[in-house]
């Protein structure tokens, strides 16, 4: 049983690349663990069909790197880690999101008209 | 066979919308990424036009409005997938009758090319030369059909080995036919008989083609089990110029590992195999390398007869293949640089 996403689907989609990068800040994770981390943070449980194309794109862009690790008794896993470029992108784009949030807050207060 | 689409015109319209050449590169990169995922060209054009309207209205750059080409292409793909607008049954094989028809038409074209070369070269050729268009036409179409089928079922190395063996065999058969008939020649009639042969073969191919109906390759089950899913998924991914065998194995292994942890079937976790394979699409660099390698082989094969002496016709054909290879590289380079500019 998993909770539905806390935000509208278009928002989740727009923030997905960044959310995946953020889930890797504390260290390497395999695909399923990334999906669980996203679910725990309110993004809803992403199915593999939605998650892996994103991971593939991030890997192609050089934002994450992947390596196989042998599973303990189970099948092997492909673990993903943030690269330096991915860390830079995360920082840069988080700044933009914050700026967007602040702008919306300021606008909603109705105090800036010039 | 690629159909004519208005995509180049739309890309051109991007360049003129704000007078910014980079906008055209952005549109080109988006269209290239979608076409490489086998998305229908009309749909790709629709997506480009939709964004073009906003670019015109706002005067903003497409990157600012929609993000990098990769991100926008992925968004369009995901939206169309959700809306059921993608046609994943893109992998088709022809029926045996359509293969015969295509082979006859290809033989007709080869006979016509030989006719032109004969007019220019004016050599005295043996009677066995008339069998060459048929032999080469059927070998070419048979080879393409075999590649199309085998590359979805076997490892690439095995397919290449079998194709190489077949090419050597056909080459030996060609030399044999010419050798056996080397004593007989049709003299001045040779070019005109080749033209007649071209017309007969091409007409025969057209007649057979009228009777043909193409059918789709291996229907996909509504609810495939894991093995059926993997067979179909890896088959689509192994399409010529898509993903390497090693990469396909890695993707499948990862999908199995994920499904094992989630406790769901591959179909439940990843959706229809064709649609998921399309999300990966082709490996652009790999496809370009394969095509350029193919043209290099064609140039080399074409230059071999020049050992006997210089020929303008042979040089022209070699130059044509070289130009094709250069065009492939330019398209790839344009794609790569536009992706870099926009990222």
Q: Choose, out of A33, A49, A65, the residue to mutate when testing the contact with B (most B CBs < 10 Å).
A: A49
Residue pointed to by tokens 């007078």: B19
Instruction: Please report how many Cα atoms fall inside a 13 Å half-sphere around the Cα of residue B30, on the Cβ side.
Output: 35
Residues B107 and B173 reside in one and the same domain: yes
Determine, for residues A53 and B74 on separate chains, whether the beta-carbon distance falls below 8 Å.
yes
Residues B152 and B195 reside in one and the same domain: yes
Residues B15 and B125 reside in one and the same domain: no
Distance from CA of B10 to the nearest CA of A (A): 26
Residues B159 and B235 reside in one and the same domain: no
Determine if residue B184 is left, alpha or beta; phi over 0 gives left, psi from -120 to 50 gives alpha, anything else beta. beta
Please report whether residue B136 resides in a domain.
Answer: yes
Distance from CA of A37 to the nearest CA of B (A): 14
Residues B237 and B161 reside in one and the same domain: no
Please report whether residue B77 resides in a domain.
Answer: yes
Which residue segments constitute the domains of chain A, with CATH numbers given?
9-109 (1.10.10.10)
Residues B148 and B202 reside in one and the same domain: yes
Distance from CA of B258 to the nearest CA of A (A): 6
Please report whether residue B13 resides in a domain.
Answer: yes
Q: How many domains does chain B have?
A: 3
pLDDT higher than threshold 50 for residue B321: yes
Integer Cα distance of A51 and B122 in angstroms:
63
The whole-number pLDDT of residue A73 equals 62
Terminal Cα-to-Cα distance of chain A (whole angstroms): 50
Contacts of B150-155 with CB under 8 Å at 24 or more apart are: B151/B238, B151/B239, B151/B240, B152/B91, B152/B217, B152/B235, B152/B236, B152/B238, B152/B239, B153/B235, B155/B245
> Closest partner residue to B258 among A17, A48, A54, by Cβ?
A48
CA B239 to chain centre: 10
Please report whether residue B121 resides in a domain.
Answer: yes
Residue range of the domain that includes B56? 7-87
- Select from A71, A69, A70, A51 the least CA-distant residue to A59: A51
Residues B202 and B117 reside in one and the same domain: yes
Three-class SS state of A78: strand
B182 backbone dihedrals φ, ψ, rounded to 5°: -65, -20
Please report whether residue B237 resides in a domain.
Answer: yes
pLDDT one-digit tens code per residue, B41-63: 888 899 999 999 888 888 888 98
The whole-number pLDDT of residue B70 equals 79
Residues B145 and B60 reside in one and the same domain: no
Residue B315 vs residue A93, higher pLDDT: A93
B-chain residues near A32 (CB < 8 A): 257-258, 261-262
pLDDT higher than threshold 90 for residue A34: yes
* DSSP string covering B271-328: --HHHHHHHH---HHHHHHHHHHHHHHHHHHHHGGGGG---HHHHHHHHHHHHHHHHH
Residue B19 vs residue A20, higher pLDDT: A20
Determine, for residues B279 and A52 on separate chains, whether the beta-carbon distance falls below 8 Å.
yes
Other beta carbons within 10 Å of B34: 26
Residues of chain B with pLDDT > 70, as a percent, come to 81
Domain end residue (candidates: B263, B282, B301): B282
CB B18 within 8 A of CB B63: no
Q: What interface predicted TM-score (ipTM) does this complex get?
A: 0.76
Please report whether residue B195 resides in a domain.
Answer: yes
B-chain residues near A50 (CB < 8 A): 78
Please report whether residue B342 resides in a domain.
Answer: no
Please report whether residue B298 resides in a domain.
Answer: no
Residues B113 and B11 reside in one and the same domain: no
A-chain residues near B276 (CB < 8 A): 49
Q: Kindly indicate the confidence band of residue A114, based on its pLDDT and cuts at 50, 70 and 90.
A: very low
- Select from A36, A48, A85 the least CA-distant residue to A65: A85
User: What's the whole-number mean pLDDT along residues B98-111?
Assistant: 83
Determine, for residues B78 and A30 on separate chains, whether the beta-carbon distance falls below 8 Å.
no
pLDDT one-digit tens code per residue, A54-67: 898 899 889 999 99
Residue pointed to by tokens 């009677």: B127
The whole-number pLDDT of residue B214 equals 40
The whole-number pLDDT of residue B34 equals 84
Residue B107 vs residue B298, higher pLDDT: B107
pLDDT higher than threshold 60 for residue B228: yes
Residues B83 and B62 reside in one and the same domain: yes
Residue B174 vs residue B1, higher pLDDT: B174
Determine, for residues B262 and A56 on separate chains, whether the beta-carbon distance falls below 8 Å.
no
Integer Cα distance of B33 and A57 in angstroms:
12
Domain end residue (candidates: B282, B300, B318): B282
Residues B250 and B197 reside in one and the same domain: no
CB B29 within 8 A of CB B340: no
Determine, for residues B270 and A78 on separate chains, whether the beta-carbon distance falls below 8 Å.
no
The whole-number pLDDT of residue B217 equals 40
Integer Cα distance of B280 and B238 in angstroms:
11
């Amino acid at each position: 049983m998993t909770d539905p996403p806390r935000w509208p689907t278009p928002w989740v989609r727009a923030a997905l690349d960044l959310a995946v990068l953020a889930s890797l800040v504390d260290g390497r994770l395999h695909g399923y663990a990334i999906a669980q981390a996203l679910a725990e943070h309110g993004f809803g449980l992403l199915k593999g069909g939605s998650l892996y194309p994103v991971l593939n794109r991030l890997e192609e862009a050089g934002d994450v790197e992947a390596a196989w690790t042998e599973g303990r008794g189970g099948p092997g896993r492909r673990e993903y880690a943030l690269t330096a470029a991915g860390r830079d992108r995360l920082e840069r784009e988080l700044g933009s999101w914050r700026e967007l949030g602040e702008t919306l807050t300021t606008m909603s207060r109705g105090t800036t008209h010039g | 066979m690629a159909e004519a689409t208005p995509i180049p015109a739309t890309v051109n319209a991007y360049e003129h919308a704000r007078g910014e050449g980079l906008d055209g590169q952005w549109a080109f990169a988006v269209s290239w990424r979608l076409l490489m995922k086998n998305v229908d060209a009309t749909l790709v054009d629709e997506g480009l036009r939709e964004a073009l309207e906003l670019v015109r209205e706002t005067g903003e750059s497409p990157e600012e409005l929609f993000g990098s080409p990769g991100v926008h292409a992925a968004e369009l793909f995901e939206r169309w997938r959700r809306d059921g607008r993608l046609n994943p049954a893109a992998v088709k094989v022809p029926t045996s009758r359509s293969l015969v028809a295509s082979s006859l038409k290809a033989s007709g074209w080869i006979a016509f090319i030989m006719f032109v070369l004969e007019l220019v070269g004016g050599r005295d050729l043996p009677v066995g030369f008339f069998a060459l268009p048929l032999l080469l036409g059927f070998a070419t179409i048979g080879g393409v059909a075999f590649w199309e089928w085998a590359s979805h079922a076997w490892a690439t190395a095995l397919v290449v080995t079998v194709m190489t063996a077949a090419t050597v065999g056909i080459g030996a058969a060609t030399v044999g036919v010419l050798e056996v008939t080397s004593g007989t020649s049709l003299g001045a009639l040779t070019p005109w008989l080749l033209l007649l042969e071209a017309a007969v073969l091409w007409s025969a191919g057209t007649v057979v083609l009228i009777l043909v109906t193409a059918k789709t390759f291996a229907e996909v089950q509504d609810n495939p089990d894991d093995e059926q899913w993997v067979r179909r998924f890896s088959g689509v991914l192994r399409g010529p110029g898509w993903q390497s065998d090693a990469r396909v194995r890695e993707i499948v292994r990862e999908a199995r590992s994920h499904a094992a942890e989630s406790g769901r079937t591959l179909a439940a976790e990843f959706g229809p195999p064709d649609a998921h394979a399309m999300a990966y699409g082709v490996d652009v660099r790999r496809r370009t390398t394969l095509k350029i390698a193919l043209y290099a082989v064609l140039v080399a094969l074409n230059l071999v007869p020049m050992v006997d002496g210089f020929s303008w016709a042979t040089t022209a054909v070699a130059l044509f293949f070289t130009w094709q290879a250069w065009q492939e590289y330019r398209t790839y380079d344009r794609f790569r640089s536009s992706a870099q500019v926009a990222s």
